[in-house]
Structure 1
Amino acid sequence: MQSNETPLLGHTLKGGPAVVMQSAATRKERTGVVGHKDLTDIAAGDQGMTAVETNLPGKRINTESVAGQVVGKCTEDVPMEKTPTADIRVDDKITIGEALEVSALTAGEKPVDQSDAAAIQAAEVSTTHSNVIIPGGVAAMAQSAANVNARMGSNEDKTKLADILTDANTKLPGDKPVTRQDAEGVMVAELRNNPNLATHPGGVGASVVAAARINQRNK
């Protein structure tokens, strides 16, 4: 029994079946009832002494048997293994608000004109699905800036894209990932309102188109 118990538990269990049986065997050997090398039919047969370990969540149960009869059971608490948590997937698509913020960085010093205002309005419409300009919204601010800038001579005093589009994500009534349709609408609006039928490098249209291309690749 001790040869089964020790490998399982790592030590002989104090007061356990192996100790009790060893003590009884020693007493019988001293009184001459059994010899040191005597074997019983049980010990020599198939139904000998066994020690079985059963693992349960937070528990380990060690059961010792003789001839199929349980003679001892020991229960130990064991640390629960933490179940690995799945990584939380964060949507990596660029939103319209984020694309507008990019243009504030790449073309922030550009004075706002009608082509910019039209492009920004198209971007806002994509998030609201309404052609109504929201009072105090980013499109209304851009249109007001374009009107004022048109009457000013010096570019230094004009309202710049960065003044309108910095933190654009918080100025929009809503936001959504940029799609190809959104980009086309913004680009067309900027082109139609530019006398040269061109878009500004790094401007509103270019930034939204770039975001749409990235989102398309990340599908």
Structure 2
Amino acid sequence: MSQEQPRKTEEEQQPVNYGDVFPVSGNLAEKAITPEDAAMMQSAEARVFGQTQKGGPAAVMESAACKNERAGLVAHGDVTYIVGEEGVTVTDVEVPGQHVIIQSIAGQVIGQYTEPNPMMRSQRDTKQSEITIGEALQATCQTAGNKPVEQSDAAAIQAAEVRATGSSVIVLGGLSASAQSAAAYNEGIIGDQDKIKLSSVLRDATTKLAIDKAVTRDDAEGVITAELRNHPGMPTYPGGVAASVAAAARLNERDQR
């Protein structure tokens, strides 16, 4: 135990860099996230969405910047030079059938949300009375919202998103990408207090899914398998992602009888 302590101290002295939480490369990946960087992204999100997005890039940046500042690795007024020079952007691009919202920093995309327009959303494969995958994921905020995101959660969320959309492509800024970034970030944090929680990732699940569908037993089994595969020897987390999807599937089956 005495030999491991110095390694923890060294890890604590390492800042959270952009490359630790976002799929960026080059010089930006090696730069520490600063409070002013986070503030710029918060302002950009607020201009487009009216507020910062729960679990979005601004929230991730704020959490990382706070950790860096508390560790004394950056100052409150610090701004990363490349970010100050090239800026941050949040753009809403309308394409046939959907809106694509792209978030970039220093010219590199760190978040992308695809939202169907009202006509497209009305065509989703679900009855009004049935619980959808997005709704089941969002319900997890109430039952296990304070749980730090782990790899098992990220795997379950990815399985749920794949079944909802019918696509295995991970969209930047989508639920799967956000969950994976959160899980990777949390692995480097010692205490739970500063870790990203499930509620931050899943609070707007219904709007982040490009396509949604009613939860079935097959969907629930796939999500359960994904969570267990990444947490061997342990049951599914009570009230967690897999448990919420399974509960929704049972309710849908009961209503169909």
TM range (shorter): 0.5 to 0.7
Three-state SS of the structure 2 residue aligned to 1:152 is: coil
- 2:173 paired with 1:136: yes
Aligned partner (choices 168, 178, 181) of residue 205 of structure 2:
168
**Alpha-carbon distance between aligned partners in 2 of 1:114 and 1:198, rounded to the nearest angstrom:** 14
CA deviations on 1:148-188 (whole Å, 9 max, x unpaired) are 10111010000000000002100111111001111000000
Deviation, structure 1 residue 197: 3.1
**Alpha-carbon distance between aligned partners in 2 of 1:129 and 1:175, rounded to the nearest angstrom:** 9
Which residues of 2 match residues 53-202 of structure 1 at below 5 A?
A: 91-202=128-239
**Alpha-carbon distance between aligned partners in 2 of 1:216 and 1:133, rounded to the nearest angstrom:** 29
Structure whose CA Rg is larger: 1
**Alpha-carbon distance between aligned partners in 1 of 2:172 and 2:234, rounded to the nearest angstrom:** 28
CA deviations on 1:188-212 (whole Å, 9 max, x unpaired) are 0000001433210000000000000
Gapped regions of structure 2 (runs ≥ 5): 1-126
How many positions carry a matched residue from both structures? 130
**Alpha-carbon distance between aligned partners in 2 of 1:135 and 1:173, rounded to the nearest angstrom:** 12
- 2:235 paired with 1:209: no
Amino acid in the other structure paired with 1:215:
N
Deviation, structure 1 residue 131: 1.5
CA deviations on 1:121-150 (whole Å, 9 max, x unpaired) are 000001121221111101100000000101
Aligned to 1:15: none
Q: After TM superposition, which residue ranges in structure 1, 4 or more long, deviate above 3 angstroms? A: none
Amino acid in the other structure paired with 1:206:
A
**Alpha-carbon distance between aligned partners in 2 of 1:195 and 1:104, rounded to the nearest angstrom:** 24
Gapped regions of structure 1 (runs ≥ 5): 1-89
**Alpha-carbon distance between aligned partners in 1 of 2:254 and 2:197, rounded to the nearest angstrom:** 32
More deviation in 115-124 or 192-201?
A: 192-201
TM-score under structure 2 normalisation? 0.49
**Alpha-carbon distance between aligned partners in 1 of 2:219 and 2:159, rounded to the nearest angstrom:** 8
CA deviations on 1:70-109 (whole Å, 9 max, x unpaired) are xxxxxxxxxxxxxxxxxxxx72100000000111110000
**Alpha-carbon distance between aligned partners in 2 of 1:97 and 1:128, rounded to the nearest angstrom:** 10
Taking only the aligned residue pairs, the percentage that are identical comes to 60
Q: What is the aligned-residue RMSD (CA, Å)?
A: 1.0
CA deviations on 1:39-76 (whole Å, 9 max, x unpaired) are xxxxxxxxxxxxxxxxxxxxxxxxxxxxxxxxxxxxxx
Amino acid in the other structure paired with 1:109:
N
TM-score under structure 1 normalisation? 0.58
